Structure 1
Amino acid sequence: MRSRLVWGAALLATVAVLAAQLIGFLVLRSWLLNRVDQQLDDFFLPEQAFSRTADHGPVPPPPDAGAVRLPSDFRVTFYDAAGRKHSTFGTGAAPGPSLPESAGRLGRQPTTVAAVSGDGRWRVQKKSGPGRTSYVATLPLDTVDGTISKLLWLNGIVLAATVTGLVVLSRWVVRIGLLPLTRMERTAQDITVNDLGLRLPDTDSRTEIGRLGTVLNTMLDRLEQALREREFSEARLRRFVADAGHELRTPLTTIQGFAELALRHAERPAAARREADRLIAQNAERMSLLVDDLLLLAKLDQEPAYRAERVDLLAVAADAVSAAAAQGGRHRIRLRPLGTAADADEGDLELAETTGDPHRLRQIVANLISNAVTHTPPGTAIDVRVGTTTAGAATGGTDRPGRNSPAPPLPQGSAICVLEVADDGPGIPPEAAERVFERFYRVDPSRSRDHGGSGLGLAIASAIAQGHGGRLELETTPGEGSVFRLVLPAAVAFPS
């Protein structure tokens, strides 16, 4: 590119200089010829310069006539009345013009003829004399040709110097102008050695190179983010496979152990055999549930089709609370309107209608209530709050410090339906709250197999919420309890 810019500028400059020199050459040549032609136009011989005879009238003077006095450089050739060349007057050692023998071959306008010998040229003009005589005034073009020759040499020297200087100057200017591109090239070379943290230094939006640098930096940011996401996804997949294998290994080991025990000791007491069969069935059921959860997650990851029905979250919450209360637990589970306990009363309950799959939404609410019952001590108050509001930092649906969600935020101010499951239990540590929606992650792994499930419930619930265009959130404070919030877009009016 540098060479193209330099030689392109040199070519344009050469064409411009040549055009200017050509115009100057033509103007000067025309002006010099016009001066010579003006001298020829102004030249006239008096009648006294011609001799007279009684029979033939005026005739050209003889070559040695002293009556003819010419200015310097002029030469005059006379033609008689018959048009024949008669005599020539003039001084100078240079060869004279090559004129025709007959005057009829000459016109009245100035013209250029060659010298009799050599490479000289003459400017000639025919004029009329007394009677039918004529003469031709001539001037040499040595001065004109000499001036033109010197001008051509000068133009050649100027052209060579101009092109040389322009090439040198253009290389310097182009090198200075392309320094940002040179820095970009060096930075790109450093980036190719896996130093993706580097960025192009020139990002001035007022220049083309700066705008190019900004675009490339944006592209590098996205590329680096994509690589990080890919690495995170690969690490997550490896962890998922390891966790799945770990979860499946325990029930499989139990089933295998008791099966081998039954084969080796067929004579065991009936009570021992029944206990072994019970443990085998229990672990097989647990393994079946785990496989079902894994298959459900795989199905949710493939963007499943959800039913689009009008669903009232208040009715879903009421069914879930009734089902939890029927199990006879030692937790106080209450259905309340959206808001704090101080300013909310059960009479303020409102419909919260959204569009979605009622079965999947019931699965989310049941999972949230089950988690609250499982991970809080007996006697903990659990409030299920339902209502409608708009997305915001105070109401939910958007990001803010202390709020965790794996899903992107909803548009600020959009109409939403909210279902909260809040407890006043011990809460969740901040480092655990950031990972609580990860697959197979457990806040209390020491008792997860007996009391906490496989660690897939919240991941499944979050995937279902995202599939409905909403998200699942967690706000928690250690020692003060936790709030899991299901946020869904409010239902749009169905066409009549």
Structure 2
Amino acid sequence: MTLRRRLVLSTVALVVAVSAVIGAGSIIALFSIQRSAIDQQLQYATSRAQKSLQNQGPNGPSLEIGRPSGQAAGTLTVYFLNGNAAVGSVLDNAGDVDRISSAAARPLGEVTVDGAAHTVDLGSELGRYRVTAAPVGPAVLVVGLPMAPVYESVWKLLGVVLVVTAVALLAASAVAAAAVRRSLRPLDRVAETASAVARMPLERSETLDGVRVPDTDPRTEVGRVGTAFNRMLGHIAGAMQARERSEQKVRQFVADASHELRTPLASVRGYAELTRRMGADLPPDVVYAMSRIESESVRMTSMVEDLLLLARLDEGREVQFADVDLTGLVLDAVNDAHAASPDHVIALDVPSEPVVVPGDAARLHQVVVNLVTNARTHTPEGTRITVGIHRVADGVDLTVRDDGQGIDPEFLPKLFERFARADSSRSRSAGSTGLGLAIVDAVVQAHGGRVAVASVPGDTVFTVHLPATRPAVATADGSAKAVPTA
């Protein structure tokens, strides 16, 4: 149950409880007051009946004892002699005296003769009466007044209380809902801001610029929450800026180091090759050592070139857009793979018509080569590799599928990280720098696309999605412009 609903229900329950207490108190008070009034009237009616009884003739009382001056309609008078009802009557609304039956008068004979008022139920004929019994010589005189007006007033008041409670309930519900909605509106804004931050890509600290909660009144609870939330966003932005500065320093260091290493590595390679070619009189072990130096310098040069490429891609460079025949790039890469790895079965699944996308031909060729090389390197001989191109609604999907042993699920989340290396579940027959798939991811992102991988034993597929339009890049003023074509 939401906080809003709990607050509204609590308010409504409080209104219902207060209304019930007030209504019950009012009904009890009304009943007590009217019964006290009846008891007081009963004393006067008993006195008048006693005086009327004294005025009766020598033949004993008659029905006229029930009609003394001043008696109210409904007054009941019964004269008991030796425990039997000698005379019993009730005064109607017209002032006439009606005799009551012996069955109706029988319960009155059981009333305690103490002068106090008692409530007696006289059945459906007369209903409930408030009666008092007073001794008159050897006889007993019972006088009563009807309780029907009291109960009628109580029932009317109960109806009024129920109606008022229902109206108050509706009004309280509406007012409480409006008040709670208005009071929780700042909390809704806090939740909306938090949800917006959760949906944002937080790769850069500029993403959080201007994202703040407007409700920061320290006098309110929500305002204090908003202030704390804004302070947290500030801390997050600061931490992201520090991380970006650190990453920028690392990237700059890698770029500078890679650039500076190219020249000495070229020299080492050149001198090693020259020495090996001129080493006719050199011992065999020296010739072997020079060949190993040349081989390792080539490998290190390749790694330096990859690091330099990644550094330039991080800076938004190295991508020059033009219309690229993706089908031709795939055919070239597959033909090269056939020559490099004849033990793998490499197939094509491309449309008959050329597929043209906007991009950098050299970089996209490197993407295809790296994906095919990755499949060749990490699968055993005889594995079938299929390179496909598929048109989709918003661009083109390039897929590289193999039926090898698959990738360890625990390794999938870090597959495109730099220097990431799979464990023995995908054995390698050749060395790997761990930069090939990182370059694929960086190049595809620079083209405004995305790369994904799905792998189960017997089916591993890399999918590169390239958009049909050139991506937009951010300018200094925060606007966007299309990437220029080479």
Q: Tell me the TM-score normalized by structure 2.
A: 0.49
Q: TM-score, normalised by structure 1?
A: 0.48
